[in-house]
Amino acid sequence: MLIVNTASKCKFTPQFDDLQKLYDKYKEKGFEILGFPCNQFDAQEPGTSEEAASFCQINYGVKFPIFTKIDVNGKDTHPLFTYLKQEAPFKGFDEANITEKLLKLKIAELYPEWLVGDEIKWNFTKFLIDQNGNVVERFEPSTEPMDFEQNVKQLLA
């Protein structure tokens, strides 16, 4: 299973294309993706939960579940994301990756409190879960879904 916090007006929103490709390719083997819209990052999911799901279906052909909007950081953090962050701590920014370097600067400007610790840093943070419910890996927003297809295949083998 892959759990991802999403937003429809984000630089990373085109990742829905490859998320759907992974889902289509591996759903028959039991692979599931769960999308959780979140408006905590630069107000990039301003509409309702229904509007978020509709956007994903219409613009990216998303067929995996898109749930109700939630918070992934702060006092109202959804318990699922509290658990995910505990099980898969933030490993740091790859300063050699220009996207991550720019993202770090943006977070420092807008949400400096989220630079510290294991908080979700931005939309499209992805958590890979095995068949036993163990969090296997955390992929930061700049990691493209097809970059970890091999990880998905190994879990399904």
Q: Strands 33-37 and 2-6, how do they pair? A: parallel
Q: What is the pLDDT of residue 152?
A: 97
CA neighbor of 4 nearest in space, from 115, 151, 144, 132: 144
Q: What is d(CA 47, CA 68) in angstroms, rounded to the nearest whole number?
A: 11
Contact 130, 4 (CB under 8 A): no
Q: What is the pLDDT of residue 52?
A: 96
Catalytic, 10? Answer yes
Tell me the CATH number of domain 2-156, given options 1.25.60.10, 3.40.50.620, 3.40.30.10, 3.40.50.150. 3.40.30.10
- Range scoring the smallest mean pLDDT among 12-16, 33-37, 79-83, 115-119: 115-119
Q: What are phi and psi of 139, to 5 degrees?
A: -115, 125
Q: What is the pLDDT of residue 95?
A: 87
Average pLDDT, the chain: 96
Candidate list 7, 10, 72, 120, residue with the active-site label = 10
**pLDDT digits over 130-157, tens only?**
999 999 999 999 999 999 999 999 999 8
Summarize the confidence of residues 14-37 as an average pLDDT: 98
CA neighbor of 142 nearest in space, from 101, 87, 106: 101
**pLDDT digits over 78-134, tens only?**
999 999 999 999 999 998 999 999 999 999 999 999 898 999 999 999 999 999 999
**Residue type at 126?**
K
> 33: exposed, middle or buried (C-beta count within 10 Å: 0-12, 13-18, 19+)?
buried
Structure token digits, residue 153 = 């295949």
CA neighbor of 39 nearest in space, from 7, 83, 84, 17: 7
With cut-offs at 50, 70 and 90, classify the pLDDT of residue 25: very high
**pLDDT digits over 120-130, tens only?**
999 999 999 99
